[in-house]
Amino acid sequence: MGAGGTAGSLPRVTLVLGGARSGKSAHAEGLVEGNGGRPVYLATAAAGDAEMAERIAHHRARRGPRWQTVEEPLELAETLSRVTAPDAAVLVDCLTLWLSNLYGADRGVVDETNRLTHALEQVTGPVVLVSNEVGLGIVPDNALARRFRDDAGRLHQAVAEIADRVVFVAAGLPLTLKSVS
């Protein structure tokens, strides 16, 4: 039995990290589908250009019609509070896009991170959050990129601290970093 879950179910909060094209989204989708119940995809992306629209279409096609999709680029904490339920598993994809959206809306990252972690502590059903691990490469050469890398790292640490499970995916292979039973 997972922490905060029922027998055969996902834990209350799972964080799935990985690099670009690592297989993290597919892994997270598999976790949610394997949970049974109603899968909910909480998308933080907005189709700002043709390439992003194509990525969104690819993800939707991979998931299929069984998934309920909720699009919310900013109000993640409130939306999680509204869509989590004991009979549903929610997949948030992804936190780094949400962080970018916060930057674009000139929202306070620390306050929004606190709101998110508080909401995650209150969810009524399992949540799987996907995010890009951006801190493994070289130090970026510009201040905005360094700030983003640092904010993403702090966001990941805050979510990982309250998560029951944290998984890192590389080359399509999941490595469990934390598992509370």
Per annotation, catalytic residue among 27, 58, 59, 156: 59
b/e burial code for range 42-62 (CB count within 10 A of at least 16 → b)? bbbbbeeeeeeeeebeebeee
What lies within 8 Å, CB to CB, of 40 at 6+ separation is 67, 68, 69, 70, 83, 88, 89, 90, 91
How far is residue 42's CA from residue 98's CA, in Å, rounded to a whole number?
11
- Annotated active-site residue 156? The verdict is no
How far is residue 53's CA from residue 28's CA, in Å, rounded to a whole number?
21
Exposure of 35 by Cβ count < 10 A (0-12 exposed, 13-18 middle, 19+ buried)?
A: buried
How far is residue 42's CA from residue 149's CA, in Å, rounded to a whole number?
23
Residues annotated as catalytic (active site), given as ranges: 59
